[in-house]
Structure 1
Amino acid sequence: MKKPLTLFSLCISSYVCAKSPQLQYIKSMYQKSVKLKSRETNNSPDYYLKYLDRNLRQIYARDKKYSEITERTACIDHDILWQSNDFNPKAKLTFTQPNAAKIKVNIGTTTGSKKHAVAYQVQCKPDNNCQITEIFEHGKPFTKKTTKCPNDFYRRYIKKH
């Protein structure tokens, strides 16, 4: 009796995960990315800033401002979604949901690119209005790295001049 119950529980949890607003939110972000890549460059994060919460958008704004001032790459030097600068829309994407608020995206290998993974913490309101509140690269929070880096970049390249 325990085996059918366990199997049934897994089916329910898989069904719940498949209908998760967090999962659908991240999938739609990647679908939009692939669609835009066919029309324009994907190196600019501007199209996916709307998916990020205020804190993450501020990090991007600060990075962009410092890059413009110095005319060099500040701290964010790769496409966060694709975990590289070599976007390939043919890469196989696998979406998993380790917990209710976290979505992991595995990006398969393609010619010229390695396998990558990135995870997103997504908060959704009852009306399914969602936002990414944290990004995890190599298991580490993006905000921690990109909060320290701009401070160092500012001291090194902007404040001195």
Structure 2
Amino acid sequence: MKKLLLAVLGLCISSCVFAEIFRPKVNYIKRIYEESIKLESGEINYNPHFYLKYFDSNIRKIYERDDEYQKATGGIACIDYDVLWQGQDLDPNAKLTFTQPTGNKVKVTIGATKGFEKRSVTYQVICLKETNDCKITEIFEGGKSFTKDKSKCLDDFYRTEIKKHRNK
């Protein structure tokens, strides 16, 4: 009986370890949040756009365009919050839950804390099998595509604000 119990226990432990090792997309997203918390706590030098290195070129281009428009107008363009934390400020005490609803998506649920409601964000992550190098290729906020939503916002911002500044 003891041998059977030990065998079952061993299988449970090894399957948990196996699941952690072979969840590269979830682990990739966890690392981003761990780095964010270290930055905020001052453990490492703060860089407000540290997470850009985790995004593919399409998302980085949206951020570059947003920065360009902010500089041109001296105000906020379309991205005025921290996409990771879905708000202006992060609370390192918020409970983070990472799930993988589909093969390429990782959902992060950020627990409610003082002044903040529970919220979530979903990342589409692509990893190269050969190198296990991953990139976020899309972000879903409230079911909406970040790239489509922000691209439209930036197009509108260009038509309404940037052209005004250039025509002065």
Q: What residue is the counterpart of 2:78 in the other structure?
A: 75
Residue ranges of structure 1 left out of the alignment (5+ in a row): 1-7
Q: Is the 8 A contact 1:75 1:150 kept in 2?
A: yes
Residues 68-102 of structure 1: per-residue CA shift (max 9 Å, x gap): 11011100111000000121000000000001110
Letter in 2 for 1:31: E
Q: Provide the rounded CA distance (Å) in 2 between the counterparts of 1:103 and 1:17.
A: 14
SS of the residue 1:134 aligns to? strand
Q: What residue is the counterpart of 1:88 in the other structure?
A: 91
Match of 1:130 among 130, 134, 144: 134
Residues 39-94 of structure 1: per-residue CA shift (max 9 Å, x gap): 1667x2x2000000000000000001101110111001110000001210000000
Please, what is the CA RMSD of the aligned residues?
Answer: 2.0
Match of 1:152 among 152, 156, 161: 156
Shift of 1:19: 2.7
Shift of 1:20: 1.1
Q: Is the 8 A contact 1:17 1:97 kept in 2?
A: no
Match of 1:141 among 133, 145, 148: 145
SS of the residue 1:36 aligns to? helix
Residue ranges of structure 2 left out of the alignment (5+ in a row): 1-10
User: What TM-score do you get using the length of structure 1 for normalisation?
Assistant: 0.86
Answering whether residue 38 of structure 2 is matched by residue 35 of structure 1, we say yes
Letter in 2 for 1:136: F
Number of aligned residues? 150
Q: Provide the rounded CA distance (Å) in 2 between the counterparts of 1:37 and 1:160.
A: 37
- The structure-2 alpha-carbon separation of the partners of 1:134 and 1:13, relative to structure 1 and needing over 3 Å to count, comes to farther
Shift of 1:13: 9.6
Q: Provide the rounded CA distance (Å) in 2 between the counterparts of 1:140 and 1:66.
A: 23
- The structure-2 alpha-carbon separation of the partners of 1:147 and 1:128, relative to structure 1 and needing over 3 Å to count, comes to same
SS of the residue 1:122 aligns to? strand
User: What TM-score do you get using the length of structure 2 for normalisation?
Assistant: 0.83
Match of 1:98 among 98, 101, 104: 101
Shift of 1:16: 3.6
